[in-house]
Amino acid sequence: MTLALEGIRVLDLSWQGPGPYCTMLLGDLGADVIRIQEPAASGRRAAKKPTGKPADERGRAFDPHGRNKRSITLNLKNDAARMIFYELVKTADVVVDGFRPGVSARLAVDYARLKDINPKIVCCSISGFGQTGPYDRLAGHDLNYLSVAGALSMVGRKGGPPVVPQNYVADFGGGGMHAVMGILAALLARQQTGAGQHIDVSLTDCVMSLMSRDFGSYLLTGKVPTRGETSLSGALACYDVYETKDGKYLSIGSLEPWLFAELCKALGREDFVPVQGKPEKQDEMRTFFRETFKTRTRDDWFAHLRQFDNCVAPVLAIDEVVQNPHVQARGMIAELDHPTLGKVKQVGVSIKMSDTPGAIRSFAPAQGEHTNAILAGLGYGAGDIQALREQGAI
């Protein structure tokens, strides 16, 4: 089976959040992804206990961010290891790093150095605040980037504090996916120019891009949108989440008048149809919805309301998502054969392609699992490899 990115080699210098997610997506689409890992954590990171990164075989089998990748250990502070990395760069198309600005230059693996080795190389640097600007060297996590980009100010109920979301927006929807788009665009541009380039992905920039409509509204009107007071953040009773009889929740998203009319028809309150967007009617409608939805279970309501042309969905917990028939029909829970653990499930490939579909071809590797094979492919003999181990290069 031909894969869309077959023949593209990616060197992955990232180790947390958006970088591994980016290279997972590239690997799913067929790229040969080689993780460049430290033989052992050094400096401040040596004292950090790993979270969500199990090293045992079972943990690796269920680790989607490590799948479709090979692993080589290289101590990039060692001259011999850096020479190996340069040899790999000659064979590669893409280098992804998640370093804070300045680190790749300090390690001599920055684009300015690598393009001299391989003029066609595409380098993608993923960082919280970008490679330039007064915040470029600040440490941060998803929550901090949401804060600076303005997204956190929009999440929460009217009159309440900002609500801490999971790290899906800045890390994955922002940095990880924008990095993939930038890399694919750079590879396409390379076909025209013959040269690679450097991609500067700032998670903060990416969140602002995701918020482009909010910024467009503010720049047009000068009015600052406030959480809980916009049509998509809780101002409208027809776009909200309601508790049901069994303590679960149902989401209603019937914004368009014709969809809202169907909702009202299903609930026997067609008198609400003409007043859908009137501010003075929101409390009355919301009170009705709250009281009504508590009279039946979530699944009963969903079974009833889905018969009408309105926007309704059950709020599912992760264990329910895994068992959901629609999710299963879409192949988003993939069942794989593991050589020692039997059947293993992972999140499936999200990008559906008719002719060159993505695939999960291998499980996450053990750290340095492919070091010997990769070095042998570069022409290193067994004695050379042993010498590199003895000097701490690998």
Q: For the whole model, what pTM was predicted?
A: 0.93
Last residue of a domain, one of 303, 322, 341: 322
pLDDT (tens digit, 9 = 90+) per residue, 287-335? Answer: 999 999 999 999 999 999 999 999 999 999 999 999 999 999 999 999 9
Nearest to 23 by CA among 184, 162, 169, 136: 184
Measured distance CA(243)–CA(297) in Å, rounded: 9
| Range scoring the smallest mean pLDDT among 40-49, 291-300, 372-381 | 40-49
At 1, is the pLDDT very low, low, confident or very high (cuts 50, 70, 90)? confident
pLDDT (tens digit, 9 = 90+) per residue, 239-298? Answer: 999 999 999 999 999 999 999 999 999 999 999 999 999 999 999 999 999 999 999 999
Q: Does one domain contain both 200 and 62?
A: yes
Report if residue 305 sits inside a domain. yes
Range of the domain at 63: 9-209+350-390
pLDDT at 57: 93
pLDDT at 48: 56
pLDDT at 53: 46
Report if residue 67 sits inside a domain. yes
Sequence-distant (≥ 6) Cβ neighbours of residue 53 within 8 angstroms = 59, 63
Q: Any idea which residue has 């309105």 for tokens? A: 310
pLDDT (tens digit, 9 = 90+) per residue, 349-375? Answer: 999 999 999 999 999 999 999 999 999
Q: Does one domain contain both 173 and 106?
A: yes
Residue 194 sits at φ, ψ, to 5 deg, of: 80, 0
Question: Active-site residue among 12, 32, 171, 205?
Answer: 171
Q: Does one domain contain both 203 and 107?
A: yes
Residue 153 sits at φ, ψ, to 5 deg, of: -65, -15
Is 198 part of the annotated catalytic residue set? no
Mean pLDDT, range 106-118, rounded to an integer? 98
Report if residue 342 sits inside a domain. no
Q: Does one domain contain both 102 and 178?
A: yes
Report if residue 284 sits inside a domain. yes
CATH number at 300 reads: 3.30.1540.10
Q: Does one domain contain both 265 and 142?
A: no
Report if residue 127 sits inside a domain. yes
Report if residue 217 sits inside a domain. no
Question: Active-site residue among 136, 141, 309, 338?
Answer: 141
> Percentage of the chain surpassing pLDDT 70?
96
Write out the chain in H/E/C secondary structure: CCCCCCCCEEEECCCCCHHHHHHHHHHHCCCEEEEEECCCCCHHHHHCCCCCCCCCHHHHHCCHHHCCEEEEECCCCCHHHHHHHHHHHHHCCEEEECCCCCHHHHCCCCHHHHHHHCCCCEEEEEECCCCCCCCCCCCCCHHHHHHHHCCHHHCCCCCCCCCCCCCHHHHHHHHHHHHHHHHHHHHHHHHHHCCCCEEEEEHHHHHHHHCHHHHHHHHHHCCCCCCCCCCCCCCCCCEEEEECCCCCEEEEECCCHHHHHHHHHHHCCHHHHHHCCCHHHHHHHHHHHHHHHCCCCHHHHHHHHCCCCCCEEECCCHHHHHHCHHHHHCCCEEEEEECCCEEEEEECCCCCCCCCCCCCCCCCCCCCCCHHHHHHHCCCCHHHHHHHHHCCCC
CATH number at 191 reads: 3.40.50.10540
Q: Does one domain contain both 138 and 43?
A: yes
pLDDT (tens digit, 9 = 90+) per residue, 121-173? Answer: 999 999 999 999 999 999 999 999 999 999 999 999 999 999 999 999 999 99
Query: What one-letter code names the amino acid at 74?
Result: L
Measured distance CA(219)–CA(214) in Å, rounded: 9
pLDDT at 169: 95
Residue 188 sits at φ, ψ, to 5 deg, of: -70, -40
Q: Quick check: 43 pLDDT over 70? A: no
Q: Does one domain contain both 13 and 109?
A: yes
Q: Does one domain contain both 143 and 270?
A: no
Report if residue 345 sits inside a domain. no
Q: Does one domain contain both 249 and 375?
A: no
Q: Does one domain contain both 74 and 146?
A: yes
pLDDT at 55: 65
Report if residue 58 sits inside a domain. yes
pLDDT at 47: 56
pLDDT (tens digit, 9 = 90+) per residue, 51-70? Answer: 444 469 999 999 999 999 99
Q: Does one domain contain both 361 and 302?
A: no
Is 141 part of the annotated catalytic residue set? yes
Q: Quick check: 50 pLDDT over 60? A: no
Measured distance CA(132)–CA(390) in Å, rounded: 39
- Paired strand residues for 239: 253
Count of domains forming the chain? 2
Q: Does one domain contain both 145 and 39?
A: yes
